[in-house]
Structure 1
Amino acid sequence: MEPEVFVTLVKEMRGKLTITELCRLFGISRASYYRWIQRKDLGKLTALEESVRHLCFLHKFRYGYRKITALINQKYKVNKNTVQKIMQKYHWNCRVKMKKCSKVGQPYRVVENKLNRQFSSEAPLKKLVTDITYLPFGQKQLYLSSIMDLYNGEIVAYTIGEKQDTAFVLDTLNQLPETADCLLHSDQGSVYTSFDYQNKIKTKGITMSMSRKGTPSDNACIESFHASLKSETFYLDGLTNEPTSIVIETVKEYITYYNEDRIQQKLGYQSPIDYRKSAA
């Protein structure tokens, strides 16, 4: 990272992170930082560099150069290669590292894979996918059950809990409106094959679909969301042993960010909710 950028960052983060924490995060010695602040020749960023810097920090280095370019192009045109060079120069590259999710549950009674990897939908609440993921970042194990609408990738229901039983996924399912002619796809976890869950599915007029055994790619969209959630929060910020309240708040804030603000290339660089509203 360029000296002037790091010095500016420390000023902006004053009261939020200590100098020691920032130095450790960016691999910079405290001695270097104090030497830099004594210099009189720290250069200034150009207007474009400042725009790139602002967006990279605003989104916590979750975006690559394509998304940063798309955001800048909302105001004025700039070539993506130029943005890429700026991000490489100042080490503002995307810092997200995708992690694999663990599978939950054991097969008991399965239904046909009706979704069959047809991950696009032409209307809201017609094709939904659901899954459970671990949240091993606090002082006790937590789980996240979420349901995604394949129309725009929006998370339309979710539950955070300490036990991954049938009641846990029923709580998520009950957040859906009473809607008919809807397909809900899951893996073969025992919570999804249970009598209570399948009975509730029928009551709500929903058609079930399940991935083939040992084929997580049949449910790739929700798997990808859970991976992004962990990578862009807990892994990115090095959160490993947080209070339960912090873990829960982190997940809630990210889902709100994901639905309302996080742009996606497949949605024309719009957030899920913006895409749904613009298409309405």
Structure 2
Amino acid sequence: MGDGYLTYIQYGSSTMYLSTIMDLFNNEIVAYKMYNHQQTPLVTDTLKEALALRENPEGVIVHSVQGGVYIAYQELVKKSHLVSSMSRRSNCWDNAVIESFHSNIKSGEFQYVKFNSMHNIQVVEKVNVYIRYYNEDRILEKLGYLTPQEFGAQAA
């Protein structure tokens, strides 16, 4: 299934946390959730969504970072018959692909927006729009100039 990771989006004095799971085969964002906290349900709900969308695949490698919110996540990975992969402590290179995506979403979608004037529903909608664009419209050289969804469909 891919790489699961958290990031935050600061707007005004508030923060939203974004949990994503990316399929590293085609760089498609399989599932994502946004909450106003970074507690365990944020990452477990994201994994549950990915499992439902991918019809409970077995034996798929799921990568995540280490951390307290990922304890129940790892239990769900095992229960779902997935293979766990975790980053080594203080090694950011293990997560380069998903960190690059999170960097792009912050700079691409929020670069010209006045964060102080936004409400959380607007932040969520901007993330929804960007992820749809990323999966359905943005071509990637490494995918033969196809979008993630086109590449995935072609491989199926």
With structure 2 as the length reference, what TM-score do the two structures score? Answer: 0.92
Distance 2:36 2:59 in 1: 32
The correspondence for 1:137, drawn from 2, 11, 17, is 11
Per-residue CA deviations over 1:3-55 (Å, capped at 9, x if unaligned) read: xxxxxxxxxxxxxxxxxxxxxxxxxxxxxxxxxxxxxxxxxxxxxxxxxxxxx
Mapping for residues 31-180 of structure 1, pairs under 5 Å: 125=1, 128-177=2-51, 178-180=56-58
The ranges of structure 1 where at least 4 consecutive aligned residues each deviate by more than 4 angstroms after the TM superposition are none
Instruction: Give the SS at the match of 1:164.
Output: coil
Is residue 2:142 matched to residue 1:266?
yes
Aligned equivalent of 1:253? 129
Distance 2:124 2:134 in 1: 15
Is residue 2:153 matched to residue 1:277?
yes
Distance 1:225 1:239 in 2: 21
Instruction: Give the SS at the match of 1:185.
Output: strand
Assess if the C-alpha contact under 8 Å between 1:129 and 1:185 holds in 2: yes
Is residue 2:78 matched to residue 1:189?
no
TM-superposed CA distance for 1:189, in Å, is 2.2
Assess if the C-alpha contact under 8 Å between 1:188 and 1:210 holds in 2: yes
Instruction: Give the SS at the match of 2:115.
Output: coil
Instruction: Give the SS at the match of 1:174.
Output: helix
Percentage of matched positions with identical amino acids: 44
TM-superposed CA distance for 1:139, in Å, is 5.0
Distance 1:273 1:208 in 2: 25
More strand per residue: 2
Aligned equivalent of 1:240? 115
Distance 1:250 1:138 in 2: 15
Q: 1 or 2 for the larger relative contact order (CA 8 Å, sep ≥6)?
A: 2
Superposed CA RMSD: 1.2
Distance 2:78 2:6 in 1: 21
TM-superposed CA distance for 1:202, in Å, is 1.1
Aligned equivalent of 1:108? none
Instruction: Give the SS at the match of 1:266.
Output: helix
Distance 1:130 1:210 in 2: 10
Larger radius of gyration: 1
Distance 1:271 1:198 in 2: 30
Q: Which runs of 5+ in 2 are unaligned?
A: none
Letter in 2 for 1:166: T
Q: Closer, same or farther in 2 for the Cα pair 1:149/1:219, shift >3 Å? A: same
Q: Closer, same or farther in 2 for the Cα pair 1:264/1:174, shift >3 Å? A: same
TM-superposed CA distance for 1:187, in Å, is 1.3
